[in-house]
Amino acid sequence: MTRKIFGTDGIRGKVNSTLISASFAQKIGIACGQYLSSKGLSGRSNRVIIGKDTRRSGYMLETALTSGFTSVGMDVFLLGPIPTPAVGMLTRSMRAELGVMITASHNHYEDNGIKFFGHDGFKLSDSVENEIEALLLSKLKWNNSDLIGRVKRIDEVLGRYIEFVKTSLPRNLMLNGLKIVIDCANGAAYKCAPQILWELGAKVIPLGVDPNGYNINFNCGSTDTSRAGELVRKHKADLGICLDGDADRVILLNEKGEEVDGDQLLGVLAAHWNQEDRIIKGTIVSTVMSNLGLNRYLKTLGIKLHRTAVGDRYVVEAMRQKGLNIGGEKSGHIVMTDHATTGDGILAALHFISILHGSGVKASSLLTAFQPIPQQLVNITFNSLQDPLENHDVKNLLRECESRLGKSGEMIVRKSGTESVIRIMIQHDDEALVSSIVRKISSKIGGL
């Protein structure tokens, strides 16, 4: 079926639009409850847990979802502001049938969204989301008054997540002597991320820890690291950690305040795990957006790279299908299934710090695992109702550009699953060729 509601990572859109409104969120709760009832709980609970980031609209959606879930007999546990990976962990830990995270990830406050986790703590598969979407488009039903669910707010969940993260690290690891800038994007990790670093002994310089409902991801976080870079240089910090609004991704800054993407971080972790013989089947997973330099570097280490469609959920699905335990994205989602069921920015940063702390070198040295080949990423917003990638002239231009790149380069042009944006990625050893092709495609699509 053609998906109209679910995107690459749950449901996302403008607040009070067709998909992200109180009335629709209530319907989502009802449809999810109906789906679970139709499958039978098989002795499992009828619990659902709901977490959220710091957007003002989270209150509205939390209440609406709760109304929908309880109307079909689900008991709801409200977690409050908490990172997305914590929802995955707590869904499994609290024996819930479903986990829900209200977030639009790295987007600004005008947007919001809903991510779903199954009872095993992993995100729902496409097939399950398709079944829920079919229910949403049909006539919904709710329970009689004697079968309404209950609601309870759980206050101590951040402490559980903090301990979970720390227990994934070497038991004797202390970060005494390290000075770290942590940018929480005024998002879900604004309390727990600085506390974790402080408990481990680091000197913490916090940024983006004053959410007001509207400043999430605004001039801060993983999508805008400039202020964090200034703080790294000002305080002569050893490292900067920049999370996004729901803390499932991370961009690191070296001691010079320079940004390092997820490909380099994945390369460092892979090399270290390879030395410890921890990489299952000698294979890691990334997406088609990963830099070709990463693939070349991994080959020198004898590590295979399996590439997937864009989206951390597809990275995780491939890891589960193939029985692998590490993967990630250039955008900063790093997935370590030995510890977590989804991307976890805090967890990934801490595991890098544990390597840095014992290396005797600076972050800039460690975070240049490989020489990236020239690569450009461009996002083009479109307003037309027609998909620009279905345009005849655009199709012809894309075929011509692919031919120019040949086998030594790559081109990815795709429509975003969450925004009205065409994403372009070109990479090749010839930087001038990359720039030329990006300009041509951008001009063509932008001129429609």
Residue 42 has a pLDDT of: 46
Homologous superfamily in CATH for domain 177-259: Alpha-D-Glucose-1,6-Bisphosphate, subunit A, domain 3 (3.40.120.10)
Annotated catalytic residue, options 105, 222, 286, 331: 105
* Structure-token pair, residue 117: 């986790």
- The domain segmentation of the chain, as residue ranges, is 11-155, 177-259, 261-366, 375-446
Q: Would you state the torsion angle of the CA atoms of residues 128, 9, 80, 246, taken in this order, to the nearest 10 degrees?
A: 150
105 catalytically annotated: yes
Neighbouring C-beta atoms of residue 154, cutoff 10 Å: 16
Contacts for 238 with CB less than 8 Å, ≥ 6 apart: 178, 179, 180, 255, 356, 362, 363
CB 44 within 8 A of CB 97: yes
* Structure-token pair, residue 72: 């079909």
Tell me: domain 375-446, CATH 3.20.190.10, correct?
A: no
The model's pTM is 0.91
Residue 86 has a pLDDT of: 98
CB 21 within 8 A of CB 324: no
Low-confidence stretches of the chain (pLDDT < 50) are 42
**What is the tens place of the pLDDT at every residue in 327-355?**
999 999 999 999 999 999 999 999 999 99
Annotate 254-279 with b (16+ C-beta within 10 A) or e (fewer). bbebbbbbbbbbbbbbbbbbbeeeeb
Q: Which residue has the tokens 């598969």?
A: 125
Residue 80 has a pLDDT of: 97
Residues listed for the chain:
448
Q: What are phi and psi of 68, to 5 degrees?
A: -65, -45
Homologous superfamily in CATH for domain 261-366: Alpha-D-Glucose-1,6-Bisphosphate, subunit A, domain 3 (3.40.120.10)
Nearest Cα neighbor of 49 from 116, 128, 127, 140 is 116
DSSP state string for 360-405: -S-HHHHT--S-PPPEEEEEEE--SSS-GGG-HHHHHHHHHHHHHH
**Distance from C-alpha of 381 to C-alpha of 412, rounded to nearest angstrom:** 16
Fold agreement between 261-366 and 375-446: no
Q: How far is CA 234 from CA 61, 217, 220, 229, 355, in A?
A: 40, 22, 17, 9, 24
Rg (CA), the chain: 22
Homologous superfamily in CATH for domain 11-155: Alpha-D-Glucose-1,6-Bisphosphate, subunit A, domain 3 (3.40.120.10)
* Structure-token pair, residue 1: 């079926």
DSSP state string for 157-216: HHHHHHHHHHHTS-TT---TT-EEEEE-TTSTTTTHHHHHHHHTT-EEEEES----SS-T
Neighbouring C-beta atoms of residue 368, cutoff 10 Å: 15
**Distance from C-alpha of 429 to C-alpha of 334, rounded to nearest angstrom:** 26
The secondary structure of residue 4, as a DSSP letter, is S
Distance separating the N- and C-terminal Cα atoms of the chain: 28
Neighbouring C-beta atoms of residue 399, cutoff 10 Å: 9
